Amino acid sequence: MYRFDVLVDEWVREHKIPGGVLSVTVANRFQFQKAYGSYSDGIRDNPIGLDTLFDLASLTKVVSTLPAMLTLVAQGKLKLDDPVNQFIAEFAYPDITIKHLLMHTSGLRADLPYKNRAAQGRDVLSEVLQQESVAPPGTEVTYSDLGMILAGEIIARVSGEPLDRFVQRSIFEPLGMDSVSFNPDASLKPRIAATELVDGVYVHGEVHDEKCLHLGGVSGSAGLFGTAEDLTRYAQFWLHPEKAALLPPELLRECVQDPFQNRGIGWEVWQDPDKIPASCGATWTKGSFGHTGFTGTSLWIDPVRELAVVFLTNAVHFGRNNPVRHLRRTLHDEIAAALFPSPGEAQSP
């Protein structure tokens, strides 16, 4: 039994997380997948299984919005250095580019003022467009939902399709990511892990993020639901893009080759040895890249070791001040220690 497996079991028993699914792959030599724990739907406890669907939250940014934008680049319909207002004329900042949005260097605010789930008649896009810039583009990293909402809007306008339909057709179906979707059908609710308890009722089967909910469940920043197997397939696409032949491999490499303050195009990338990303393993290889989601989800890839770790939880089931963000590095380091006992040297498990 692996120490990292024991660790997740302990976290469930200690009520640090309600449960989750862990998927670990190393090239074509090793795969570990296991489901842990359960969640309440307000009536009964439901076990989490390998086929459980999780609200992926901000993983949407790199699993949906990023590849959809790269598809339009590959089709010659836009360039990453194009200004945002070339596609959204009502956007007030001509110096902010699509690349700035994807790298979180646009200078836009991190978020909108909070409005609860019950807010009626909210026009999120108009609110985003009314926000003032707080820094010159390209000068600093501010992780911004606003920028990714704009990126999703650009994809819809340029493709001529809603974001969910475009990415389903161009990315998810070709990669065999069969369970991924925005606004999952009501028939799938028994397979979906409930998230937060709000006003005495668990959010279950609909998106947790309020802005995305007000946008109809489809956004460039959140809204996607999927399984650990779906994300494992997606991670393999980034490790071996030539096999899928969906996007030029050099375009994917560009996303992680030249990060700024540990931010690549879409992904968080470990570049600075003195500033290890909080959710990455300290013993992982420099150049590892990944992303997290507020609900408790994460995906990290070590391209040197061909290691991909998907850890999906519904940690917000226990409230927003849950410890999952502090647990991820420990998990990733335990995985590296188990599978690569000599630092920097891959061994066949």
Q: How far apart are CA 229 and CA 261, in angstroms?
A: 31
Residue 247 resides in a domain: yes
Number of domains present in the structure of the chain: 1
Q: What is the pLDDT of residue 166?
A: 98
Q: How far apart are CA 197 and CA 319, in angstroms?
A: 7
Residue 346 resides in a domain: no
**Range of the structural domain that residue 150 is part of:** 3-184+195-339
Q: What is the pLDDT of residue 1?
A: 84
Residue 231 resides in a domain: yes
Q: How far apart are CA 138 and CA 97, in angstroms?
A: 9
What are the residues whose beta carbons fall under 8 Å from the beta carbon of 204, sequence distance 6 or more?
41, 42, 189, 192, 194, 195
- CATH number, domain of 238, equals 3.40.710.10
Q: How far apart are CA 102 and CA 108, in angstroms?
A: 12
Residue 236 resides in a domain: yes
Q: Which sign does the torsion angle of CA 148, 153, 159, 162 carry?
A: positive
| Tokens linked to 316 | 């917000």
What are the residues whose beta carbons fall under 8 Å from the beta carbon of 121, sequence distance 6 or more?
none
Residue 345 resides in a domain: no
Question: Which amino acid is it at 80?
Answer: L
Return the DSSP state at 142.
Answer: -
Residue 232 resides in a domain: yes
H-run or E-run covering 328? helix 324-339
The two beta strands, 297-302 and 289-293, are antiparallel
Q: How far apart are CA 162 and CA 299, in angstroms?
A: 25
**What DSSP string runs through 46-113?**
EE--TT-BEE-GGGHIIIIIHHHHHHHHHTTS--TTSBGGGT-TT-S-TT-BHHHHHHT-S---S-PP
Q: What is the pLDDT of residue 29?
A: 87
Residue 189 resides in a domain: no
Q: What is the pLDDT of residue 348?
A: 41
Residue 306 resides in a domain: yes
Q: What is the pLDDT along the chain (349 residues), one digit of tens a residue?
A: 899 999 999 999 999 999 999 999 999 889 999 999 999 999 999 999 999 999 999 999 999 999 999 999 999 999 999 999 999 999 999 999 999 999 999 999 999 999 999 998 899 999 999 999 999 999 999 999 999 999 999 999 999 999 999 999 999 999 999 999 999 999 999 999 999 999 999 999 999 999 999 999 999 999 999 999 999 999 999 999 999 989 999 999 999 999 999 999 999 999 988 899 999 999 999 999 999 999 999 999 999 999 999 999 999 999 999 999 999 999 999 999 999 987 544 444 3
What's the whole-model pTM score?
A: 0.96
Quick one: three-class SS letters along 221-281?
CCCEEECHHHHHHHHHHHHCHHHHCCCCHHHHHHHHHCCECCECCCCEECCCCCCCCCCCC
Q: How far apart are CA 317 and CA 57, in angstroms?
A: 14
